[in-house]
Chains A and B, each alone.
Chain A
Amino acid sequence: MNRQNFAETTSNPVKGLEDRPPGGADMNNRNRIDREVEETLGLLNHQASMEESPDFLAGVRRRIRAGEPARRTPALFFFRRVVVPALLALLVVLNIVAAVSMLRLRRSDSEAKLQGFTALAKDYAAYQADAYANLK
C-alpha cells in the first residue's frame, strides 16, 4: 500500500455512519464533514519536511565526545583504566594481609594464654601438694 491509495483503501462510508453527528444531521452537513475529513487526511501526503542542518553532524560528534571524556583524554583514560583498578587491587590485597595477620595474632595470643594457664595450674597443683605435705 502506498501514499496514493490510502484514501481509497481505508474509506468505508457504511462503517463510519455511526460516528456521524447525532440528531439527524442533513445530507449537506454530512457531505461537508466527509469532504473536510478527506481534505484533512490529504495532508498526510503533503506535510513539509525539515531541511538538513549543517551543524547536525558536529552536534552528534560533540555529544559522543561528551559521553566519553575518559576515552578522549589520555590522562583521564590512564587514571580510570590503570590507576583506579590498581588502587582497588592493592586495597583488596592489603585487606587480605591484614585479616590473615589478625587471625595469626589471635591464634598465637590464645596459645600463649593457654600455656600461661597450664603453667599456672601446674604451679597451683605443686603448691597444693606442698601444703598438703606440710599438714601431714
Chain B
Amino acid sequence: MANEDGIKEDGGFLDRLVGGDEAAFDAFVLRFQRKVVNICLRFLHNPEDAEDTAQDVFVEAYRALPGFRREAELSTWIYRIAVSKSLDQLRKKKRKKKDDGGRGIGGEELDDIPAGPSWNPDRRFEERERALALQRALDALPEKQRIAVTLSKYEGLGNAEIAAVLGTTTVSVDSLIYRAGENLRRILRRQIARRGPGGGSR
C-alpha cells in the first residue's frame, strides 16, 4: 500500500527500513525531506535553522527506527519528531536570547520571512510586514493551537494526521484550529489597531 506521500509502507519496505537498510533509509529521507524541512521552517522562521533541525530529525529517526512499533503511519511518526525537535530548538533559541538580554524572537529575522510574489517595493514591504505580524501572532498562540494551525494551514495535513501527531482526537483538532483562528484574529486586531493606518509594525 502506498500512502499519500507516495512511499510504499508495505511490510517489506518497513522491514528493510527498520532493519537498517541504507537504501531504504535514503528513500525515506528523500521522500519526507521537503515536508520535514518546511515544518521546521514554520516554527523556526529561518531556513538555515530549519535545514539544520530537519537533519537532526532524520538522525533521530535513524536511531529510533529499530524501535518503530508500526502503530502509527511512518509520515505521522516523522512529523511528530519534526514538531518536537523544532519546538525544542525554539525553546533553546528563546532561552539564549533571554540570556543574551536580547530582542524578542523574530525581530532580527525579518529578512528571512518570505515576502510574497510582488515586484513592487512598497507592496513587498507591506507583505513582509504582514508576514512578520502573522509570525508574531502565531508565536503568541498556545503551543497545541500553534502546531495544529501550522500543520493544517501551511503543510495541508488532514485533521486525522494532525490528531495522530498531537496524540489527540480529530474533534479536538477541529477545536484547536477554531480557537487558533479566533486568537489570531484577536492578536492581529490589537497589533493593527496599535500600529494605526499605514504605520510600520514596530
Contacts and interface: CB of A to CB of B under 8 A. Distances in A.
Contacts of A44: 134, 149, 153-154
B89 interface: no
A21 interface: yes
27 contacts: A2-B152, A6-B152, A9-B178, A10-B180, A11-B181, A15-B182, A19-B185, A19-B190, A20-B193, A29-B197, A32-B197, A33-B189, A34-B189, A36-B130, A40-B134, A40-B192, A41-B184, A43-B127, A44-B149, A47-B131, A50-B51, A56-B37, A56-B51, A57-B33, A64-B59, A67-B59, A67-B63
Contact of B58 (A12, A47, A60): A60
Given A40-B137, A56-B29, 8 more contacts: A1-B152, A6-B177, A10-B182, A19-B185, A43-B116, A47-B131, A60-B55, A67-B59
A17 B197 CA distance: 19
A21 B131 CA distance: 22
Interface of B: 26, 29-30, 33-34, 37-38, 41-42, 47, 50-51, 54-56, 58-59, 62-63, 114, 116, 127, 130-131, 133-134, 137, 149, 152-154, 156, 159, 174, 177-178, 180-182, 184-186, 188-190, 192-193, 197
Interface string A37-70: 1011101111111111100110110011001000
A64 B62 contact: yes
Given A10-B178, A60-B29, A60-B58, A41 B134 contact: yes
Nearest to A22: B193
Contacts of B185: 10-11, 16, 19, 37, 41
Contacts of B114: 47-48
Contact of A52 (B33, B42, B62, B130): B33
A50 B45 CA distance: 11
A6 B159 CA distance: 13
Contacts of A45: 153
A106 B124 CA distance: 90
Interface in A91-118: none
A7 B180 CA distance: 11
A7 to B, nearest CB: 8
A66 B88 CA distance: 22
Nearest to B186: A19
Contact of A37 (B42, B159, B188): B188
